[in-house]
Amino acid sequence: MADNWMTLDEARAAIAARIGRPVPMATVAKWAREGKLAGARKVRTGGRGRDGLRWLVPGETVAAFVPPKMGRPSRAVSAARAVAAVLGRRI
């Protein structure tokens, strides 16, 4: 288990500093919810945040994280997802 945990705000700042552009907090929260920040977990803390819940992310995950490309997916990717949805698969 990781010894150096970061809050989402600390993770956001570290990712933004590494990639050289700002990253919205909502985007980092979405990455945590979707499991793109491996090992991120919601923990109950003393009354801060919504109902005292906060996301904690392992420092190693933040250091190794590569954000997804910005913008809309290409038409080819969209078409592939549509076909996969018809077949009942995820890509």
Query: Is residue 43's pLDDT more than 60?
Result: yes
How far is CA 37 from its chain centroid?
5
- Indicate the burial class of 62 (C-beta count within 10 angstroms; 0-12, 13-18, 19 or more): buried
Contact criterion met (CB below 8 Å) for 56 and 5: yes
pLDDT in tens, 46-87: 766 567 788 999 999 999 998 888 777 667 777 778 888 888
Q: Which residues contact 84 (CB under 8 A, 6 or more apart)?
A: 90, 91
Look up the pTM and report it.
0.69
In terms of residue numbers, what domain contains 76?
5-87
Number of domains in the chain: 1
Chain mean pLDDT for the chain? 85
Q: Which of 53, 34, 33, 29 is nearest to 43 (CA)?
A: 53
